Amino acid sequence: MKNSEKYLSLNAMTRFKDKNGNYLFSADKEAVSSYLEEYIKPNTMAFNSLSEKIDYLIANDYYDEAVLNLYRREFILQLFEKAYEKEFTFLNFMGALKFYNAYALKTDDAKYFLENFEDRVAMNALFLANGDETFALSLLDDIISNKFQPATPTFLNAGKKRRGEFISCYLLRVEDNMESISRGISTSLQLSKRGGGVALCLTNLREFGAPIKGIKNQSTGIVPVMKLLEDSFSYANQLGQRQGAGAVYLSAHHPEVLKFLDTKRENADEKIRIKSLSLGLVIPDITFQLAKDNKEMALFSPYDVERVYGKPMSDISITEEYEALVANDDITKTYISARKLFQMIAELHFESGYPYILFEDTVNERNPHKKKGRIVMSNLCSEIAQVSTMSEFSEDLSFTKIGEDICCNLGSINIAKAMDDAEHFESLIEHSIRSLDSVSRSSDLDSAPSIKKGNHNNHAVGLGAMNLHGFLATNHIYYDSKEAVEFTDLFFYAMAFYAFKASQKLAQTHGAFDGFKDSSFADGSYFEKYISEEIVPQSEKIKALFDSYHFHLPTRAEWLQLVEDIKETGIANAHLMAVAPTGSISYLSSCTPSLQPVVSPVEVRKEGKIGRVYVPSYKIDNDNYVYYQQGAYEVGPEPIINIVAAAQKHVDQAISLTLFMTDKATTRDLNRAYIHAFKEKCASIYYVRVRQDTLEGSELYDQDELIDNLGESYAELCEACMI
């Protein structure tokens, strides 16, 4: 496959203006056409008919015949034909590039493409509908119109014979014994080769120098375990399509917390330096209080805590037990400055973007499954917040007690596309929840028995959303406005209602998830905030906006009825919503990522051997450009936190919250952002990105070079338009 230069040059033209001062955003659409015609079409395997193509893909082990056998052959052909009739087009060049580079099925020698976007959508609809022809047709429409997008593992693997799993992420507890550590590493290898990101909680591991079998100063601590995990994730990947990725979470009150953070220092000793493993800190309320009061904070030996309390440190509320832990002479403790810890976190964020932060008490206050246990960690993108329970092992690593570990099945709706078809918003959310539920009931998790048990008992899903900034900008609403926060609040309020309604409907078929009766869903207390008062738009602008789209906001009476229905039948899924970063799928859908603002009106990305690719914002034009002009770095962290906090009120898990800081920011600015996110009841902070100044002209194509690359006819056009 040879690359053409024309589509790259056309794509680069989006950064220039014509003689009237208007940006040449239309050039990016020309780039899409050029790319498909000059590069994709010649390198796509041709077939005489659709039927011949499907037969070939089955016979050569590309498509899974078991999925196709759920349907009549006539219907399969009808579904594919309907997909082609939609005349799908990529909104921008990056969407097309992302699809063909990362998602489209290729021949084993990678010389030819075997799928276009319509084919991949059709196979997703067939897989997710699990034999239901009517549902498959509805799903096809939802996905091909970009209203719903399954997460990468699902969209990539659905319907393929040789594939990874469909699940985005896995979370594993690790207990303070060699069997649990060994099992955690081996399970991480198994899950990583199937394409999921894996996070592990290390809070319960005894610290460096702790006793082993009563002999003091024997434990080597958590860093060697981190090293083993990093090597494991580097080794295992999904056929080279998705690199292995892992994260480890640790309580801020673990004795090795400073060493844990030091592993990400650029100048760290190679013996402890962690390069590719992601780090997450679990921070309770007490840590913020101690920092506020400028007090020393105690770090508690997990070995002693478990010996005294009879349960692992992660299963104890550090905030509630702090004074008792400090007063207990049987628990070894050391002290550091709480403010020094936050200073170090901020320094490390500037250096590496890590650690992720999970606000421990915030997520546990919201936890609808308190009787089952505590939320002790999050995942690789910090949007999962679920309870896990301890497993126990024999010496041969077989289970003597299978606990519940976590997996989550993710997908996102496109806010702008959902609003455009507001009349069918309820059915969109129902189809999306049903699709994610289908993934939870179709995945093979035999390699990880504790995750299999957790999935079987909970069928947890995480429906999220993307393209918030795209919707706001195309409706002439500034991202950092009160109206943006109010819209976000009400949109997720409605989304939550229909998600619970969809899960209640699924419970009529599948029954309620195991443990429903012990959850705060069962007695209705979880829904108190929705049934205590009528929720309506407060500003005339947002009221007019919802009215103009004919978007129905659920009433208090509707909530009251739904809560009664849930009490009677239950819900099928222990968790329903989580907002992921949507990096890859937002590029695929040519929309703005997650709930965050764009980094610039035209983003510059480096894509492998291709080099720089210019990504115009969703439906950007010279009319709405000003609403994209203030990007993530310009608006700063506070408006982003306010948006996320508004959505978080209605999201039962967490939201990937990325903070963007300019190179002028200080550690003090970052600490203000942590405190603001904490006070606004955000569940987590995912990543901190710091913008560095680039060399002047380093991201610009030479105008004459562009014209030369485009050829004679395009050159004439450019010369007429360019300044």
Catalytic positions, please? 379, 381, 383
Question: Distances from the Cα of 658 to the Cαs of 41, 260, 390, 605, in angstroms?
Answer: 38, 21, 31, 18
Q: How far apart are CA 297 and CA 334, in angstroms?
A: 8
Nearest residue to 37 (alpha-carbon basis) of 78, 70, 4, 82: 4
Q: How far apart are CA 254 and CA 284, in angstroms?
A: 12
φ, ψ of residue 11 in degrees (nearest 5)? -60, -40
Residue 711: count of CB within 10 angstroms of its CB: 12
**Angular region, 293: left φ>0, alpha ψ -120 to 50, beta rest:** alpha
Is the distance from CB of 631 to CB of 600 less than 8 angstroms? yes
- Indicate the SS3 state at residue 614: strand
Q: Which residue has the tokens 């429903």?
A: 516
Is the distance from CB of 657 to CB of 363 less than 8 angstroms? no
Strand partners, 553: none
Burial 361-380 (b: 16+ CB within 10 A, else e): bbbbebbbbeebbbbbbbbb
Which amino acid, 362?
T
Nearest residue to 316 (alpha-carbon basis) of 379, 390, 243: 390
Supply 314's token pair.
């992660």
Supply 364's token pair.
């546990």
Nearest residue to 385 (alpha-carbon basis) of 363, 359, 405: 363
The pairing of strands 333-337 and 658-661 is: unpaired
User: Quick check: bond before 355 cis, omega within 30?
Assistant: yes
Q: Which residue has the tokens 């007429």?
A: 720
Is the distance from CB of 113 to CB of 106 less than 8 angstroms? yes
Q: How far apart are CA 408 and CA 484, in angstroms?
A: 29
Burial 304-328 (b: 16+ CB within 10 A, else e): bbbeebeebbbbbebbebbeebeeb
Q: Give the distance, in angstroms, between the CA of residue 344 and the centroid of all CA atoms in the same chain.
A: 26
Strand partners, 106: 113
Question: Distances from the Cα of 297 to the Cαs of 163, 343, 414, 674, in angstroms?
Answer: 48, 14, 44, 18
- Indicate the SS3 state at residue 552: coil
Nearest residue to 250 (alpha-carbon basis) of 217, 287, 275: 287
Burial environment of residue 448 by CB neighbours within 10 A (0 to 12, 13 to 18, 19 or more): buried
Q: Give the distance, in angstroms, between the CA of residue 423 and the centroid of all CA atoms in the same chain.
A: 27
